[in-house]
């Protein structure tokens, strides 16, 4: 039997119009990802506090994973990872 869902909503974004049954918890890790991508600094999302809110699937992807399915981002990220592997620390 599959585990029971823990995230039932509602979405933390005011006036969310998206009808979905899939929600994601806004954690410290997702906060870091959103800060690194620059989306958390948008005034509309500044009220989000880690481990207290949930986001609908649409807003989660918009805020936390804005570069998902972006082919240019994948190439840049791959190049960055290769650079990190080749970099030697003395």
pLDDT reading at 80 higher than 70: no
Residues ≥6 apart with Cβ < 8 Å to 13: 44, 45, 55, 56, 59
Per-residue pLDDT, 90? 43
Question: What percent of the chain lies above the pLDDT cut of 70?
Answer: 68
Higher-pLDDT residue of 78 and 62 is: 62
Higher-pLDDT residue of 11 and 3 is: 11
**Residue 89 burial (10 A CB sphere; 0-12, 13-18, 19+):** exposed
Q: What phi, psi does 64 have (nearest 5°)?
A: -90, -35
pLDDT reading at 56 higher than 80: yes
What is the rounded CA–CA span in Å between residue 48 and residue 3? 27
């Amino acid at each position: 039997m599959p585990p029971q869902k823990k995230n039932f909503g509602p979405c933390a974004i005011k006036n969310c119009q998206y009808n979905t049954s899939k929600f994601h918890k806004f954690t410290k890790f997702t906060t870091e990802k959103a800060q690194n991508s620059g989306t958390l600094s948008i005034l509309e999302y500044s009220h989000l506090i880690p481990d207290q809110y949930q986001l609908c699937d649409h807003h989660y992807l918009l805020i936390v994973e804005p570069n998902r399915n972006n082919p240019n981002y994948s190439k840049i990220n791959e190049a960055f990872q290769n650079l990190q592997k080749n970099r030697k620390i003395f």
